[in-house]
Structure 1
């Protein structure tokens, strides 16, 4: 391509066309060649103009002689276009650096109050992740506060972050290793790793994280050496980095482990039940924090208890480690309530792989470390929930050269045929009866229905209920009370409950079964009676709720005492809804736009995040809808799941999913209004108001009191009604609607506006 020249209009006028031609010929030079081509400019976007960034570490190495870490990475936008200008920013990167090692390497000997020296750990050979960047607080080793920063930690006169061109950068980090007194150093025989944090860079405060591991002997990248959880385990509840603490640091357990190592501890102080100030340390590992947060008390409350001198249980069970699982404390140091969280650490399988999984059948990407939880190998793991349950008496074992830290696993071990295994106590159904968890054993009990009879004259429905745990009958000797609810669905188009929910009375029979009698004559909440819809050919939906008495720490049934009390543990059943026809054959199953698996990924211990007499443990969506019918948005979806921008209305669970993310609850097929039900949705059971089907779907969020976009909920309500929708009217008005939301809001448009694609 020839070089281009620009001649001004004034010059053109002075010379004229012919004179200009002669002038140009005269300037051509003796060789007659054109000027050389210029170099093409770099195709890139400046960091301050980028809307998203991603890094890819290409290589890394550590020079042991020079004590310097070096690595190169590319920085691009999601389309692969190079991003420039990172090196000019004030604080663009934070870097964690570490390697695989053992617990013994990070162990510091200590003395007990009686002078006994604790010189080692029983699990000292267990592999853990060691950080090369340790800090300390009040003499307690910890990580997470000492990430290396090129602009802050670079020695004077050295350029630690340089641009190489084409979106590639080089980091040079001298003297990066500082283990802060712990007795380990760089080891070229271990897998090393970098966690690169792009920390709120550019005008748009962009963030990105990347973990990179390599073998120093070959300088080749390798996969994560200690990945114990699938990513979906966390993100099924915490959807996106914005919905987990330290969002700038990512949202993977793998990444969290770079800072919250297995040996990390935090120090704190609190006031015990007698008003005494207590100084304590607690587990700051990612495992310890996750266990503690998910025991029931909310993360905010735990931080309050840990750091602001609130009441704690006792010196052996300070904040984060209550001996009772999941209860906040009142002003007298007593638990306020029982377990109160949808995902419970009392069930290890809420997060971890099945205990039946072998190393050969682990999900792709997970390591053998994923199996360690049920091997009871960790001497401190139990303490993240239970604290020093035996007040320190069984945490160490004396030896010839001092005591060894043994924790709980000396007695509570599943190894060598010991049936007192701690891990096996935390869930039911693992075929080791003496170790099954009573708190979870209720899910093993199922209900079946037979001998259904319908008396049209008296509008009375009756049937036989049998409860069984496998082949074993569960009777009134084991169950204090049974509650039965009955509703109905259209046998052809079962997309809603048709009647007012009706309760039945259960009477125990001598053979261990129950006879259930239901008065189906009464309408309620503006809905027809059960008798009316049965007469029109509807199928039945039956839900039984009960708790079963089990022997403590087992799934062995225990009979109630003479006053009907359980001497063991009362465990709630799964409260699943069954659909049957009047002749006892399977009935039409109520259709739901929500995929139950999406609910259960968070609510894997309780379907509700709060306890109450009217709520069922582990209920499916059909059971919830017995009271909170699919359209009962004002009392359920808006109040709990429909707060704009948050999945939940409760402040203590705002760090979870966004209600703008349809896929958090719905499958890819259920984003559109095409899936709206055919009958009106109950808007408010208090005044028996109803919405038209499509309007109810949209209004569940957009007419929420928390909706603030545009003109807020009033503008959204006005728009819905202008298109023929009914937000809160009579059942008849909602049934006779001619709403036209679908004219504009197709499934594709809904997905687009809610950022699903």
Structure 2
């Protein structure tokens, strides 16, 4: 006879799986498990770039499982000789409400094992020395989290990359009827590097979830380390976490409290909408701090989750957590910019900015000026190697030209509205001056434009104290002295969509100090394949070879800045996270880069050192003709002499590649 606990769980499973069960109506019953096809023969893998794991079968004897796993490499060759290999956790899924009214479904650990037999054909048979047979319930979904650590084969030579999978079955080894997958590994990997430890050990979210169970956390007296609480805690800075009281400022700046950064609708995720349907005290207190439910502080008093859904229904929960972000995106899409830069015969240049509506039709700027917090323009000369510094460049004494066409709802001095467009004439620009990129590059001026508008969340309003502002779509425009086609910086190394993978579509770059720049299709240019690419080339109006406000003291040149900032925050570990290619020929157009206050470094060396460290590569680089933190003159004289590419041929997939 089934006991009361198991009877209750069985009823929960019936409710959870009813839609799946109905698909079998009209059949002749269970056809049984499919047998495993014969394993391929052939020579075992001699090299393993990618380790692929698959659970072939799960069988039970006396309620103890035996799990058969198959391992292959990227060429589907059998991998023989794995040693650092384990079932990190075997767990079962307690259904929604089974552990208490209103409680979410939670995994419950049953055991782990590193005991296996290598069958010498790519298959491995795991057995459990210790397994909680008293807790095991064949009515529940069973999960096996298989982990092969980054190591070598038994030969001690052949390297093995890390690989982690989870496989879910029912309690007899058949296909699971119900599981709980809310967020995909792919979403996490858009920020966290593939194959790299997310925190202390795991490289996939499924491993984290299977380990950080609610029961395990409660048993340690640390309910805050249960995954549902912890994962939100480490992505917002509302409270510290971990034994060293970490703050999640970097992650918070990226996620920006936008639930949909991680909770993405997917047909492959059985429970992607779970976050709106099943609110719990454990999850909500990870972001909403200062609440004591039991004491009734900060919220009405309640001792459990049984009444949460009475107020926090799914549609309201989704609306309150996502409505602001959807409104912001809708407001950003209400306006755009169409700009021109006309170079005059006296080497001044006239910039014209037309504001457009969502349909692309021009809007008379005079009707919007009072609603504009700022229209910022930043102009430089020489897109491939700007010759105007953020501060005055040592080369020509010129600094970039920054001017606000509108500020705080008022036109800037000498700005006019002509035929509905804002116009301003820039001062004389250094066209045609020497540049390592050639005088054809300094024939081109370019202006990066940021728009910041006052709004009430849904519509533009007059600017004033305590009025919210939103950065809008940025624009980039070119003009030439000769009248010939403009020189443009390459966009085939970094496309902005890789930035959006972490930062999202409404990332307001540098908002506060600047108007803020939202990089959209408005900046797109076609590449050689006819694809529209949104680059980061507009950023070099400020992030010049001479650095930014610290004149090199903070590695402000674009070639270094992104490396140094993301590296300091331990965000990047793989070039492919940001790069879609390396345009190594671009170095042929570059001179020295400011790498310290008043000191310069040859361009390839500076770029490499921004990840690898200046002290670390100094001796090697100088031995190959590079200059590290030397004078402006010496570093520029050696810019095209450094011999790095004579040996190094980096690719985004292997930046250590050499040409011997």
Structure 2 equivalent of residue 31 of structure 1: none
For residues 412-453 of structure 1, give each alpha carbon's deviation from its aligned partner in whole angstroms, at most 9, with x where no partner exists.
5563xx59822323512xxxxxxx35xx67644644245766
Supply the distance in 1 between the matched residues of 2:508 and 2:237 (Cα, whole angstroms): 12
Give 1:105's match in structure 2, choosing from 93, 98, 107: 98
Please state how far the C-alpha of 1:476 moved relative to its aligned partner.
3.8
- Residues 650 and 658 in structure 2, CA contact (< 8 A), matched pair in contact too: no
Greater Rg by CA: 1
1:466-505 maps to which residues of 2 (within 5 A)? 466=355, 475-488=368-381, 495-497=384-386, 499=388, 500-505=399-404
- Residues 624 and 644 in structure 2, CA contact (< 8 A), matched pair in contact too: no
The secondary structure found in structure 2 opposite 1:384 is coil
Structure 1 equivalent of residue 199 of structure 2: 245
Supply the distance in 2 between the matched residues of 1:351 and 1:749 (Cα, whole angstroms): 26
Please state how far the C-alpha of 1:343 moved relative to its aligned partner.
1.6
Please state how far the C-alpha of 1:245 moved relative to its aligned partner.
0.8
Structure 2 equivalent of residue 194 of structure 1: 144
Please state how far the C-alpha of 1:543 moved relative to its aligned partner.
1.6
Please state how far the C-alpha of 1:621 moved relative to its aligned partner.
1.6
1:359-508 maps to which residues of 2 (within 5 A)? 362=266, 366-373=268-275, 375=276, 377-380=278-281, 381-387=283-289, 392=296, 405-407=306-308, 410-411=310-311, 413=313, 415=315, 421-428=319-326, 436=327, 443-444=332-333, 446-450=335-339, 454-457=343-346, 459=348, 461-466=350-355, 475-488=368-381, 495-497=384-386, 499=388, 500-507=399-406, 508=410
Give 1:570's match in structure 2, choosing from 469, 473, 482: 469
Q: 1:476 to 1:752 in 2, by over 3 A?
A: closer
Supply the distance in 2 between the matched residues of 1:296 and 1:609 (Cα, whole angstroms): 20
Structure 2 equivalent of residue 12 of structure 1: none
Structure 1 equivalent of residue 65 of structure 2: 69
Supply the distance in 2 between the matched residues of 1:148 and 1:387 (Cα, whole angstroms): 35
Give 1:176's match in structure 2, choosing from 131, 143, 164: 131
- Residues 291 and 345 in structure 1, CA contact (< 8 A), matched pair in contact too: no
Give 1:132's match in structure 2, choosing from 109, 113, 116: 109
- Residues 44 and 84 in structure 1, CA contact (< 8 A), matched pair in contact too: no
Q: Quick check: 1:515 aligned with 2:515? A: no
Structure 1 equivalent of residue 240 of structure 2: 302
For residues 120-142 of structure 1, give each alpha carbon's deviation from its aligned partner in whole angstroms, at most 9, with x where no partner exists.
22xx5x6x342234xxxxxxxxx
- Residues 642 and 649 in structure 1, CA contact (< 8 A), matched pair in contact too: yes
Q: 1:589 to 1:423 in 2, by over 3 A?
A: farther
Q: 1:209 to 1:609 in 2, by over 3 A?
A: farther
The secondary structure found in structure 2 opposite 1:103 is coil
Q: 1:627 to 1:244 in 2, by over 3 A?
A: same
For structure 2, the residue ranges without an aligned partner over 5 or more in a row are: 1-41, 389-398, 520-534
- Residues 444 and 487 in structure 2, CA contact (< 8 A), matched pair in contact too: no
Please state how far the C-alpha of 1:228 moved relative to its aligned partner.
3.5
The two structures, once aligned, show a CA RMSD in angstroms of 5.2
Q: 1:705 to 1:368 in 2, by over 3 A?
A: closer
Structure 2 equivalent of residue 5 of structure 1: none
Q: 1:664 to 1:53 in 2, by over 3 A?
A: closer
Structure 2 equivalent of residue 559 of structure 1: 462
Q: 1:54 to 1:542 in 2, by over 3 A?
A: closer
Structure 2 equivalent of residue 635 of structure 1: 556
The secondary structure found in structure 2 opposite 1:421 is helix
1:3-42 maps to which residues of 2 (within 5 A)? none
Structure 1 equivalent of residue 170 of structure 2: 216
For structure 1, the residue ranges without an aligned partner over 5 or more in a row are: 1-41, 108-119, 134-146, 151-159, 180-184, 269-279, 311-318, 321-325, 328-338, 429-435
Supply the distance in 2 between the matched residues of 1:706 and 1:148 (Cα, whole angstroms): 41
Supply the distance in 1 between the matched residues of 2:339 and 2:279 (Cα, whole angstroms): 49
- Residues 285 and 291 in structure 2, CA contact (< 8 A), matched pair in contact too: yes
- Residues 539 and 581 in structure 1, CA contact (< 8 A), matched pair in contact too: yes
Supply the distance in 1 between the matched residues of 2:466 and 2:421 (Cα, whole angstroms): 20
Structure 1 equivalent of residue 56 of structure 2: 58
Q: Quick check: 1:706 aligned with 2:613? A: yes
Give 1:626's match in structure 2, choosing from 541, 561, 565: 541
Give 2:623's match in structure 1, choosing from 718, 723, 726: 718
Q: 1:746 to 1:638 in 2, by over 3 A?
A: closer
The secondary structure found in structure 2 opposite 1:97 is strand
Structure 1 equivalent of residue 526 of structure 2: none
Please state how far the C-alpha of 1:59 moved relative to its aligned partner.
1.3
Q: 1:444 to 1:535 in 2, by over 3 A?
A: same
Supply the distance in 1 between the matched residues of 2:65 and 2:236 (Cα, whole angstroms): 40
Structure 2 equivalent of residue 32 of structure 1: none
Please state how far the C-alpha of 1:162 moved relative to its aligned partner.
4.1
Structure 2 equivalent of residue 753 of structure 1: 656
Please state how far the C-alpha of 1:457 moved relative to its aligned partner.
4.0
Q: 1:383 to 1:615 in 2, by over 3 A?
A: farther
- Residues 449 and 464 in structure 1, CA contact (< 8 A), matched pair in contact too: yes
Q: 1:167 to 1:427 in 2, by over 3 A?
A: same
Please state how far the C-alpha of 1:538 moved relative to its aligned partner.
2.3
Q: 1:665 to 1:453 in 2, by over 3 A?
A: closer
Please state how far the C-alpha of 1:78 moved relative to its aligned partner.
6.8
- Residues 443 and 572 in structure 1, CA contact (< 8 A), matched pair in contact too: yes
Structure 1 equivalent of residue 450 of structure 2: 544
Supply the distance in 2 between the matched residues of 1:741 and 1:714 (Cα, whole angstroms): 13
For residues 191-218 of structure 1, give each alpha carbon's deviation from its aligned partner in whole angstroms, at most 9, with x where no partner exists.
3220023457676896744434344377
Q: 1:549 to 1:372 in 2, by over 3 A?
A: farther
Please state how far the C-alpha of 1:699 moved relative to its aligned partner.
3.5
Structure 2 equivalent of residue 590 of structure 1: 489
The secondary structure found in structure 2 opposite 1:177 is coil
